[in-house]
Chain A
Amino acid sequence: MSIKDIAQSIIKSINDGDTLTTISLGAETFHEDSVKIASVLLNKKLGGIYVTTSRPSSHIINELEEAKADLSDLYFVDLVSMTVGGTTGDPRTLYVESPTMLESILLNISLLERRLKAKRRFVMFDSVNGLSIYSEPKVLREFINVLGNSMRIREIYSMLLTVKEQTDEDLGSALKLLSDKVIGD
Chain B
Amino acid sequence: MAKKDVTKPISLDPRGGRPRDKCETHIEGIDRILNGGLPIGNIVLLAGTVGSGKTTLAMEFLINGAKAGETCCYISVTEPSSKMLSNLQTYGFFDESLVKEGKLNIFDLTVINDRLGVERLDGTYTSKDMEALLGAFEDIVDELGVTRLVIDSITAVCYQLPDRGSIRNFIFRLSQFLSTFGCTTLLISETVVDSNTQTYSIFGVEEAVADGVILMGNIIRQGDLLRSLQVVKMRGTKHSRARHLIELTPVGLAVVPLLKWGQDGGQAFT
Contact = CB atoms under 8 A, between A and B. Distances in A.
A and B physically associate: yes
Given A138-B262, A139-B262, A103 B257 contact: yes
Interface stretch (A35-43, A57-65, A94-102, A171-179): A94-102
A134 B260 CA distance: 16
Interface string A112-139: 0000000000000000000000101011
Given A107-B247, A111-B251, A139-B261, 15 more contacts: A100-B222, A101-B226, A101-B245, A103-B226, A103-B247, A103-B257, A103-B259, A106-B256, A110-B254, A111-B254, A134-B222, A136-B266, A139-B266, A143-B259, A146-B259
Interface residues on B, range: 10 to 19
A102 B259 contact: yes
A107 B254 contact: yes
A100 B262 contact: no
Contacts of B265: 136
B221 interface: yes
B29 to A, nearest CB: 9
Interface string B229-270: 000000000000000010101110010111111100110000
A5 interface: no
Given A98-B224, A100-B222, A103-B245, A142 B262 contact: yes
6 contacts: A103-B226, A103-B247, A103-B257, A111-B251, A136-B262, A142-B260
Contacts of B262: 136, 138-139, 142
Given A134-B222, A142-B261, A103 B250 contact: no
Contacts of A98: 224
Nearest to A97: B224
A31 B204 CA distance: 56
A111 B250 contact: yes
Nearest to A141: B262
A111 B92 CA distance: 15
A104 interface: yes
A103 B28 CA distance: 14
B15 to A, nearest CB: 25
Nearest to A142: B259
Given A98-B224, A100-B224, A101-B224, A107 B261 contact: no
Nearest to A134: B222
Contacts of A142: 259-262
A138 B261 CA distance: 8
Contacts of A138: 262
Contacts of B245: 101, 103-104, 107
Nearest to B244: A103
A61 B191 CA distance: 45
Nearest to A150: B256
A107 B249 contact: yes
Interface string B208-235: 0000000000000110101000000000
Contacts of B250: 94, 111
A110 B247 CA distance: 13
Contacts of A108: 249
A79 to B, nearest CB: 12
Q: Which 6 A-B pairs have the closest CB atoms?
A: A103-B245, A98-B224, A103-B256, A107-B256, A138-B262, A100-B222
Nearest to B29: A107
A143 B258 CA distance: 10
Contacts of A97: 224
A107 B256 CA distance: 7
A142 B265 CA distance: 13
Nearest to B245: A103
A103 B222 contact: no
A148 B5 CA distance: 41
A146 to B, nearest CB: 7
Interface string B114-125: 000000000000
A100 B251 contact: no
Contact of A146 (B247, B251, B254, B257): B257
Contacts of A101: 221, 224, 226, 245
Nearest to A145: B259
Contacts of A111: 249-251, 254
